[in-house]
Structure 1
Amino acid sequence: MAATCKLNVAVCSSVSGEVPACGRTTTISSAALIRNSFSNSALFGKSSLSLASTSSATPVISRRAVTVCKVNKGDQLPNATLKDQDGKPVSLSKFKGKPLVLYFYPADETPGCTKQACAFRDSYDKFTKAGAIVVGVSADNPESHRAFRQKYRLPFTLLSDDGNKLRKDWGVPGDLFGTLPGRQTYVFDKKGVCQLIFNNQFQPEKHIGETLNVLSSL
């Protein structure tokens, strides 16, 4: 007899807009969700998974996982050091003193990420006038970043997040049940205080308008 499942998820991010506070609860029902939720629980905040069947021979399986939103609005910019497209170490602390737009994206040369990078490029004068620095972050190595940057004439720094360590440290959620790295943008003011967290995987160009709106109010 087929088993059914019910997944109660406390979500700490949104794929379609500014990230809400942790703790909003939604319910998803799908038997196929079990495999993904076990291997990709980092997508969610606090979750509880239960599997039940009308057959008494089917065991009840429960799993709880906790992922903390580690960077929230009002938080200070955490320090970390990553390699840029030239393989040189860059400390995030060096960006304090100017507004910082730091965006996490899935991968170089993918359609959405290329569209997003080129949109930042095309609006780069607006970011410059706002006194802001733009930095892109993905798990690609410096060589990939250098080729991507040169091909599309990107005027901003790309940092290599080896093993997605920074992404994990900041609690950046994945999309499609964790199968796809999340597309999330942070805006920090010149004092290093986070003023915006915006998450939208499937409308990459929307990140530019949202960040410029926040920068205009700083």
Structure 2
Amino acid sequence: MLETGLKAPDFTLLNQDGESVSLSQYLGQKVILYFYPKDNTPGCSQQACGFAQLYPQFQEKGAIILGVSKDSVKSHKKFQEKYQLPFTLLSDPELEVIQAYDVWKEKNMYGKKVMGVVRTTYLINEEGMIEKAYTKVKAAKNPVDMLEVLNTSL
């Protein structure tokens, strides 16, 4: 996991509509950058729906939400449409950004060691610096926790 106080690595990935999105385009705004394992899985759906439900409150705070997984653009589009997600999902099938943010780790899956995305959320400030970093976040609680962090960091 990247430490707080570091410059957030810039990147450009495709969103659910196949458009290029760069982190640097959000300079001047707070960004909640969350990494999740897989579209349409119970925990990831719960986390995304939590962010969607609280989205108006994040907007009031001027915060952008970006979700990143290694799923394809097509998978993201289906996920977004299924749950009517109002924020941007980014596709990183080459794991470039996932590895740059140090969230590709060995995990235990049903007793087997596998490599995968560790659910992690970063709060990036207006200058592009990592303000907060959370690893092993609880999917259901993460959106509420991030809104509380925003409320206290303003």
Calculate the TM-score normalised by the size of structure 1.
Answer: 0.64
* Amino acid paired to 1:204: A
Does structure 1 residue 210 correspond to structure 2 residue 141?
Answer: no
Q: 2:9–2:100: 8 Å Cα contact kept in structure 1?
A: no
Q: 1:97–1:190: 8 Å Cα contact kept in structure 2?
A: yes
What is the alpha-carbon distance in structure 1 between the residues aligned to residue 118 and residue 9 of structure 2?
19
2:56 alignment partner in structure 1: 125
Q: 1:104–1:137: 8 Å Cα contact kept in structure 2?
A: yes
- Unaligned 5+ segments in structure 1 are 1-68
1:99 alignment partner in structure 2: 30
* Amino acid paired to 1:79: D
- Unaligned 5+ segments in structure 2 are none
2:90 alignment partner in structure 1: 159
* Amino acid paired to 2:118: G
Question: In the TM superposition, what whole-angstrom CA distance separates every residue of 1:190-209 from its partner, at most 9, and x where no partner exists?
Answer: 121211111235x2022112
* Amino acid paired to 2:83: Y
Q: CA deviation at 1:210?
A: 2.2
* Amino acid paired to 1:115: Q
What is the alpha-carbon distance in structure 2 between the residues aligned to residue 180 and residue 77 of structure 1?
21
* Amino acid paired to 1:168: Q
4+ runs of 1 displaced by more than 6 Å? none
What is the alpha-carbon distance in structure 2 between the residues aligned to residue 200 and residue 164 of structure 1?
19
Question: In the TM superposition, what whole-angstrom CA distance separates every residue of 1:8-42 from its partner, at most 9, and x where no partner exists?
Answer: xxxxxxxxxxxxxxxxxxxxxxxxxxxxxxxxxxx
Structure 2 residue matching 1:163: 3-state secondary structure? coil
* Amino acid paired to 1:186: Y
* Amino acid paired to 1:192: G
Question: In the TM superposition, what whole-angstrom CA distance separates every residue of 1:65-106 from its partner, at most 9, and x where no partner exists?
Answer: xxxx4x310112211110111111111100111100000000
Root-mean-square deviation (Å): 1.5
Higher relative contact order (CA 8 A, sep 6+): 2
What is the alpha-carbon distance in structure 1 between the residues aligned to residue 60 and residue 136 of structure 2?
25
Change (3 A) 1:173 1:139: closer
Change (3 A) 1:180 1:77: closer
What is the alpha-carbon distance in structure 2 between the residues aligned to residue 91 and residue 209 of structure 1?
25
Q: 1:106–1:183: 8 Å Cα contact kept in structure 2?
A: yes
1:188 alignment partner in structure 2: 124
Change (3 A) 1:186 1:150: same
Structure 1 residue matching 2:94: 3-state secondary structure? helix
What is the alpha-carbon distance in structure 2 between the residues aligned to residue 209 and residue 149 of structure 1?
20
Larger mean Cα displacement after TM superposition, 148-157 or 162-171 = 162-171
* Amino acid paired to 2:94: G
Calculate the TM-score normalised by the size of structure 2.
Answer: 0.89
Q: 1:200–1:207: 8 Å Cα contact kept in structure 2?
A: no
What is the alpha-carbon distance in structure 1 between the residues aligned to residue 9 and residue 28 of structure 2?
14
